[in-house]
Homo-oligomer: A and B are copies of this chain.
Amino acid sequence: MTVSAEQRFSHRIALELAAKRHLCAGIDPSAAVLTDWGLPDSAASAERLGREVVAASAGVAACVKPQVAFFERFGAAGFTALERVLSDAREAGVLVIADAKRGDIGTSLSGYADAWLTPGSPLEADAMTVVAYQGFGSLTGALDHVRDHGKGLFVLAATSNPEARAVQTARREDGRTVTQAMVEDALAYGHPDDHYVNSVGVVLGATLTLSDFGIDTASAPAKPALPVLAPGFGAQGARIEDAKSIFGGLAWAMLANESRGILAGGEQGLADRIRTRAEAIAAAV
């Protein structure tokens, strides 16, 4: 199957960004969130929350991001719930970044890519998060799906949790930090149809001073821009008003992930909270 330039994740997310939609709405049905929603801690509840977030995000948020762990904890029943959420998103035309943080090598990594990035798979998403502790080159099996099916990847680069810093600032033999190499390797991936935004992006925590990780936000290419999935705004402490100073040249293709802020309070008012946050982010970027 050939994917046209217009069908690629990179193009579709570029249209969202051009429309000033930068919110990536989190679908995080943790036990605590489900309790806050007045729901039992079950796969059915996770499905209900996910479908509500999808419905409220259509045309308002740039994308949604289900945290796979909160579905996986229910085993196959949780995956069935997630499949229904993903099906809703496809029908509504809402872009999905599956926050799976999968990482492996060879045919194993291909297995994960088959699950999340293959057209027709029950778990099909538009993009997924991946971890490259085994090296950027270990992602080949997913990069194939980026090329062939027009999917997107977000490679973990620098994350906000304090214990990550020692690993992510470690210096490789070539002099680059681990984070810096992840960002440069993501940038180096090029698909000829990626006109505005790269198909391969990175995860960078908004609470960090990125220069500490060897990232020079001033030197980021304008086109195709590197998409940045940015957790850390809201409950975790970063202010969306600071997005431009935090991400510099990376701010244009920044997707601000918010979960706790929009989910807190339950179904009542969910659509309003998502709209309010989407507008605040649009105003700031």
The complex is assembled from copies of this chain, and their number is 2
Q: Given A75-B123, A111-B72, check contact A133 B168 (CB 8 Å).
A: yes
Among B69, B112, B168, which residue has its beta carbon within 8 angstroms of that of A69?
A: B112
Counting chain B CB atoms within 10 Å of each CB, which of A105, A131, A167, A178 scores highest? A167
Q: How far apart are A121's CB and chain B's nearest CB, in angstroms? A: 6
Among B106, B122, B161, B174, which residue has its beta carbon within 8 angstroms of that of A105?
A: B161
Among B76, B110, B178, which residue has its beta carbon within 8 angstroms of that of A76?
A: B76
A32 CA to B106 CA, complexed, in Å: 13
Measured as residues with beta carbon below 8 angstroms from the partner, the interface class of chain A is 35 or more
Among B107, B109, B115, B134, which residue has its beta carbon within 8 angstroms of that of A167?
A: B134
Verify if A42 is at the interface (C-beta below 8 Å from B): no
- In the assembled complex, which residues on chain B have CB atoms less than 8 Å from the CB atom of A99? 108
Q: Given A69-B109, A75-B115, check contact A161 B138 (CB 8 Å).
A: yes
Among B30, B101, B177, which residue has its beta carbon within 8 angstroms of that of A103?
A: B101
Q: Given A75-B122, A83-B75, A111-B72, check contact A133 B164 (CB 8 Å).
A: yes
Binary interface encoding of chain A residues 69-101 relative to chain B, with 1 for a CB under 8 A from any of its CBs, else 0:
110111111111011000000000000000101
Tell me whether B138 and A164 are in contact (CB under 8 A): yes
Sampled A-B contacts (26; CB under 8 Å): A30-B111, A32-B107, A67-B108, A72-B111, A72-B115, A73-B111, A73-B114, A74-B122, A76-B76, A76-B77, A76-B80, A76-B82, A76-B122, A77-B122, A133-B133, A134-B159, A134-B168, A135-B162, A135-B163, A137-B163, A138-B163, A166-B174, A167-B172, A167-B181, A170-B172, A170-B178
